[in-house]
Amino acid sequence: MTKYVFVTGGVVSSLGKGIATASLGLLLKRRGLQVALQKFDPYLNVDPGTMSPFQHGEVFVTDDGSETDLDLGHYERFTDVSLGRQHNTTAGQIYESLIRRERRGDFLGHTVQVVPHVTDAIKERIRGAGVDSDVVVTEIGGTVGDIEGLPFLEAVRQFRLEVGPRNCMNVHVTLVPYIRAAREVKTKPTQHSVATLRSIGLQPDVLLCRTEMALGEAVLHKIGLYCNIETRAVIAVPDVQSIYEVPLLLSEQKLDEIVLERLGLEAQPLQLDSWRSMLQRLQVASDEVEIAVCGKYVQLQDAYKSIIEAFTHAGVDNGVRVRIRWVNSEDVESRGAGALLRGVCGVLVPGGFGERGIEGKIAAIRWAREQGMPMFGICLGLQCAVIEYARNVLGLTEANSSEFAPTTPHPVIDLLPDQNGAVKGGTMRLGSYPCVLRPGSLAAASYGDVEVHERHRHRWEVSPVYVERLAAAGMAISGASPDGQLVEIVEVPEHPFFLAVQFHPELKSRPERPHPLFRRFVAAAKQHATRAAGAAPEPAKAGGSWEAG
């Protein structure tokens, strides 16, 4: 029978429930169990696809084209398992499905209520994630006590009754603050949080206590006593340098053993040697390269969470630490690219939507191309690279995207004829698509393969009308759809590293398996730093055959 673990949070948000869920998933998977991770978000949006990055952060796209919460990125990176639509549920999805059923008459005139209809729908989603899995770990978004989260917690309470106490448990993530004026930690917020959870009918089986300071045995015993939890199940989770330390921290306090014992599961010995090796290489890297990320949402770095992590993975593989210089593309428009980018070893131009800051991105790309600086464009970054090249190399000075300039005489970026529809998301290319690589290209050398599959999230495409002219001017189309109609990768062979992709490679990078393009880009940045220092550069690592997920 499938076992279930629910992860809740209390006191404040942003305590790291997603990291805790991902870490527990890793520990159970490294014991040979089949693990499914799932996130419930209590907001009424159907998905985060139309939400502002400043409010929600990154939209994590799965292989099946689902636009999901960024925590699913943590789940995939820690467990190295590709997730899908069934692994992220919002309150908006639940209510939307119920209202559609009610309008069809499915409820035969009955009153549709939170209990049982909403809670039953939530329980169906819980069970749906557990097909062919030994354990389902479900994170409940938000904080215990939030009004919008109550139906989800009520569903969990009912679910525990239905499957029985030996098949279900609750891990509660809470805060034990350190009061500097008093020079002591305070357990009262945790006590109140657990009391709130118990008032809903849920007793935590494990507490993960987030803290700035180490918690002594006496503090852990006090928390356990007042919260009705064994002391050994009160686990201190202090701040760490890297999120990839958290699984080791939890395993040292035997979280995985407690979960296995509580659920009556038998499993293999824990295998974390490769994870420890990765973490050790991360910690001992002494060299540093600085790479600029020139984007529109740099005020909230969670908008680029997967890019940040992909840089970490690629840095480990190249034996360096990647320091990111956050550059607002609007500032580039007013202050100039050279003033903001000088001194970095590479420039990455990420994705985004809308006209704001576009000219700054284009200016940053031109500066990197003309300076011989490694440049990596992602999604909108590819489109800006094509616009820049068309303007300044091909000589089409008014080249633009029809997204930003509908009347441009040279729409090098355009909607294709079959892209019609007014519903947001209805015209987007979402999810995994194949990409055929051009032999002998930088892209093919990086991947070490002839065809790959990558995740997309965009509407506009490189216009086929201009492909031949761009190629004739020196911009190689090194990756395309199997029918050759959609441009996936462009590069400039005469440049040390000038490559842009229409997809989002960062979404498939893993701590122990960095994405080949990020790995190659960081290697190029490292070479640039070496040349700038006047030493002989190391050769870039050759790509082996790679396919993520």
Residue with tokens 């999230």: 457
Residue with tokens 């640039």: 528
Element containing residue 118 per DSSP (H, E): none
Q: Are the beta carbons of 176 and 223 closer than 8 angstroms?
A: yes
Element containing residue 371 per DSSP (H, E): helix 358-371
Please list, residue by residue across 468-507, b when 16 or more beta carbons sit within 10 angstroms of its beta carbon and e when fewer do.
eebeeeebbbbbbeeeeebbbbbbbeebbbbbbbbbbbbb
CA distance 468 to 476: 9
Q: Classify residue 334 as exposed, middle or buried by CB count within 10 Å of its CB (0-12, 13-18, 19+).
A: exposed
Q: How far apart are the first and last CA of the chain?
A: 26
- Residues noted as catalytic: 379, 504, 506
3 state SS of 378: strand
Neighbours of 199 (CB within 10 A): 10
The CA-CA-CA angle for residues 186, 187, 192, to 5°, reads 125
Closest to 404 (Cα-Cα) out of 361, 354, 360: 354
Written as one string, the DSSP assignment of 472-533 is: HTT-EEEEE-TTS-SEEEEE-TTSSSEEEESS-GGGG-BTTB--HHHHHHHHHHHHHHHHHT
